[in-house]
Structure 1
Amino acid sequence: MSQSLLITDDLLLNFKRCRRRAFLDVYSDRSQADREKDFLLKLRQEHRLLQEAVLAEFDYQQPNALDKDWQARANQTKLFMQLGVERIYHGLLLQPEISGLGITCIGSPDLLIKQPGKSQFGDWLYVPINIKLGTRPKPEYQIVAAFQAQILAAIQGVLPPTAKLILRRRNTYQVNLEIWLSRMQEVLTECIAILQQENEPEVFISRQRCSLCHWHSHCYALAESTEHLSLIPGVTPSRYEYLQTIGVDSVESLATVSPETVAEVFGIEVASKLKLQARSLLENRAFLKGDSRNINIPTTSLEIYFDIEAEPNRNLDYLLGILLVNKETKTEEFYPFLAEKPEEEGLIWEQFLHFVSLYPDAPIFHYSEYEVDAVQRLAKLYRTSPKKIQPLLSRFVDLHEMTIETVTLPVRSYSLKSLAQWLGFQWRDRGVRGDQTVCWYDRWLKSGDRSLLEAILRYNEDDCRATYLLKNWLVEFLLEMKVK
């Protein structure tokens, strides 16, 4: 053990999200971590821009000590507070050696705001404010705010009446410290115990939460080597905990366990789905779910495969990609409706509507709910008549919903990329995810580099073609099952 365990607000935030990530950040060799993803770097840039926009409204003072010189920054921050500075940006709150436990706590709120009150400094006290990209006050944000408030109380001699969050839409949220201090203390106590005992938390792969973590490859390789149950679609942390208590700790044991045993907690439907998923992985083959033989997937001479690329921060759908498949002429043509500038979104929306109106009987296949939601958003934004939109939406066929309702496949994720790769399809730009296209479009707007647009178009076309491949496979598989 080191002489003093350092608990920062960033470490506590990461611990709340994933105990294992916090442990690896303290004890593992960072050279084994993944290179930071472009999308994460983009989020950081957006966070900086939000901070700058908020700070532009205020006058403030800032410690000039180096970020790594914690003691100097903490001393300068405390001096500012003693002098009654109205606003302190990027200050550092330091609480060394808590109760002789060898713990040093560091908090760095975005702002410290002076308010009337009584503290050891005089007739004023400070309140911590954090500026966050989120649109809602997530629990981890409030736990960090409570942590900073606790350190601040030790410095100024009084607990601030509140802590505040400024969120993406510039709305301010008051953190109720009466509630969150106790919750924070529970998380902090657990964090200290795990780190002091050097007890490495078990790996658990969460598909959404883990994707941007710099330890993702490290943890995924470990999970693969042990065939960890978290790699099985449908195994959530709570379900995993119960499966362990009944001795189910492998794909094989889940595939063979009595469904009634699992159904006691999960219910028979969930238990059956988990068993079938494990069996599919174990035997490396697809299974029909229930009686899905009569599911009808539209098959016509003309079919449309539709995929959207979006920029969430701008609330912008900048590429409406269509693959038109004509079975009579045996042709497949890709039509990208691309907004090279954000203000062209309305134009490509009209182009898209005109194109699909040329083929009124063609079903429109897509993979996820997003395409339907986006069409409804665009229709509302550009005041398209409901009489035009409702017939259009009636042609939409969500292959994601249809897939998960009808078949169980030997995959670790039911994402389009995972399913298409299982079917042998490869995107031309290997290893690229959808969030990379967001970064590419952002860079295109700044640089004008058309190779970025070309990469986005390739990715979108491959998404459409992967959707086409999946639809054909699903039709053939269901037909095969009907014959049996």
Structure 2
Amino acid sequence: MLLTAEMLLNYQRCNRRAFLDAHGDSGRKDAPSDYLQKLFQDSAGNHRSLLQDKEYQRPMFDSGDWPTGAEKTLELMRQGVETIYQPILLAEIDGVTWRSVPDLLIKQPGQSYFGDWMYTLQEIKLSKRAKTEYQVVVAYHTRALAEVQGAWPEEAFLNLKDKGLYAVDLWEMLPRLAEVVDGCLTALSGATEPEVFISRNRCGLCHWYNYCYDIASTQQHLSLLPGVTQGRYAELQKRNITTLETLASMPPKRLETLPGFGLEAATRLARQANVTLHNRALPADGFPHGAQSGQFLQERLPTAPIELYFDIESEPSMDLIYLHGVLLVDRTNNTQEFHKFLADNPDDERKVWEAFLEFVWMYPTAPIFHFCPYEVQTVNKLAKLYGTPRERVQPLLPRFVDLHAIATQVATLPVESYALKNIARWMGFDWRDSSANGAQSIYWYAQWLSTQEQSFLDSIVVYNEDDCRATYHIKEWLVDFVEGFDQALLAS
């Protein structure tokens, strides 16, 4: 049986992905998204940047000819080459072939099969965090290296983007590696696919996503409910609560004492199952009634002569805010106008930030609606970065209205996620480019920088404008929901 670092990494993220990679129908895989291909390109660029001042050798062999690659690597190790890039290590361990391709082998003093030298290793990652799953992979490479050279290196490293070397605690990671290897081999030797589970944090870039999502959607799988984590789902499974109907009818008190629940979470999950089952919105606990509803609308969801709807586009790998989009809604004249503040050059970040400030101060009393805290966090970040006078920023902050916070306070919605797209689409809004998303916007901006093709910037602006219009659509729906439900109560 063959074991690779990629198998272990994927198993740690999703045992179903590891199984499908080994046994699934490759025809059902999704094509790599533009954003995923950008990540591959960024990773290759990161490798080139780190290696540009290093002298190294690389084993040369035909693609897929792993035995030859392993032999060429051994030749370089026997010669005592100082640095070897992407060596091929093959080791037989407990009847399993371990194929290891760490990024760098670094020569150091010590005793090994080769003489009075040995090798330690580095794994180059685009990430800035030493995730446990990456540390397990380093331990995997180290175990294979020890088998090949007949000696254990005392240390091994992750080489992180902009952070440099991170020393992995091998004594802590090797027992964890043994557990992961056992679990992975067991999963791969199974006869049936592991159960589907849609995780919002891990599934988006997986090439099996649409295959798994179609199954989950057909089954009305509970993982599609907001708030159903893997831990909570495991507890529900133990009690045979695996359908929307069962969860919707379950008294929250029955779930309150389960690990990871509590009464609030149990109530929220049962309500979420109910609205999803019947595809209808229900008022959340604490919904404002009577006189409270008018006060709530005035204070939390104000309707003003001029309203601004704000959305940002950023490039995290460059730590860059390249677009501030604002939809101006003029209720007096019944008009809507979109304004963009776009840095077509990364050096213009400060210029577009200051232009955005100038614009919002043209309407000093207008509420600024946005979705999630990111926009306010970014305003504070840019103000600090560019030394913006306090009087230019602090009076703005009370004008910001986070519609995500209000939506979750006001209503339980039949959506798979309380993200902007899920909510707005359920409320009847859609984007002109149905495939556009934040990751795609990042890809478009990278393509603009490399090609200067105007269509990429145009696509970003259209997407951002639609995000602003979706935010406006949500605000209007929420106002109607509060007013309509309160009127229904009065009529009854």
In which range does the TM-score fall when normalised by the shorter chain?
over 0.9
Aligned letter for 1:64?
Answer: M
Aligned letter for 1:270?
Answer: A
1:200 is displaced (CA, Å) by 2.1
CA separation in 1, counterparts of 2:51 and 2:459?
Answer: 36
Question: Do 2:4 and 2:100's aligned partners in 1 also have CA atoms closer than 8 Å?
Answer: yes
Match of 2:143 among 142, 150, 174: 150
CA separation in 1, counterparts of 2:8 and 2:33?
Answer: 22
CA separation in 2, counterparts of 1:198 and 1:123?
Answer: 47
SS at match of 2:257: helix
Aligned to 1:257: 250
User: Is 1:69 aligned with 2:65?
Assistant: yes
CA separation in 1, counterparts of 2:153 and 2:477?
Answer: 61
Aligned to 1:134: 127
User: Is 1:241 aligned with 2:234?
Assistant: yes
Match of 2:339 among 312, 335, 341: 335
Aligned to 1:307: 311
Aligned to 1:397: 401
5 Å-filtered alignment, 1:44-443, equals 44-96=40-92, 98-99=93-94, 101=95, 103-265=96-258, 266-293=261-288, 294=292, 295-296=296-297, 297-443=301-447
Question: Do 2:12 and 2:133's aligned partners in 1 also have CA atoms closer than 8 Å?
Answer: yes
CA separation in 1, counterparts of 2:42 and 2:308?
Answer: 35
Question: Do 2:222 and 2:244's aligned partners in 1 also have CA atoms closer than 8 Å?
Answer: yes
CA separation in 1, counterparts of 2:190 and 2:458?
Answer: 51
Aligned letter for 1:167?
Answer: L
Aligned to 1:478: 482
Which stretch has the larger CA shift, 465-474 or 120-129? 120-129
Aligned letter for 2:302?
Answer: P
CA separation in 2, counterparts of 1:174 and 1:310?
Answer: 31
**Would you say how many aligned residue pairs link Structure 1 and Structure 2?**
477
Aligned letter for 2:25?
Answer: D
Aligned letter for 2:69?
Answer: R
1:67 is displaced (CA, Å) by 3.3
| TM-score, with structure 2 as normaliser | 0.95
Aligned letter for 2:279?
Answer: N
CA separation in 1, counterparts of 2:425 and 2:130?
Answer: 37
Aligned letter for 1:404?
Answer: T
1:170 is displaced (CA, Å) by 4.0
1:208 is displaced (CA, Å) by 2.2
| Structure 2: gaps spanning 5 or more residues | none
Aligned letter for 1:280?
Answer: V
Aligned letter for 1:157?
Answer: G
1:256-304 alpha-carbon deviations (Å, 9 max, x no partner)? 0121111112111000000000000011111111122133311111100
Identity of paired residues, percent? 46
SS at match of 1:128: strand
Aligned to 1:35: 31
SS at match of 1:264: coil
CA separation in 1, counterparts of 2:166 and 2:192?
Answer: 36
CA separation in 1, counterparts of 2:241 and 2:390?
Answer: 51
1:411 is displaced (CA, Å) by 0.8
5 Å-filtered alignment, 1:435-454, equals 435-454=439-458
- What is the root-mean-square deviation of aligned Cα atoms in Å? 1.0
CA separation in 2, counterparts of 1:54 and 1:66?
Answer: 25
1:199 is displaced (CA, Å) by 4.0
1:314-346 alpha-carbon deviations (Å, 9 max, x no partner)? 111111000000000000000001111111111
Match of 2:4 among 1, 5, 8: 8
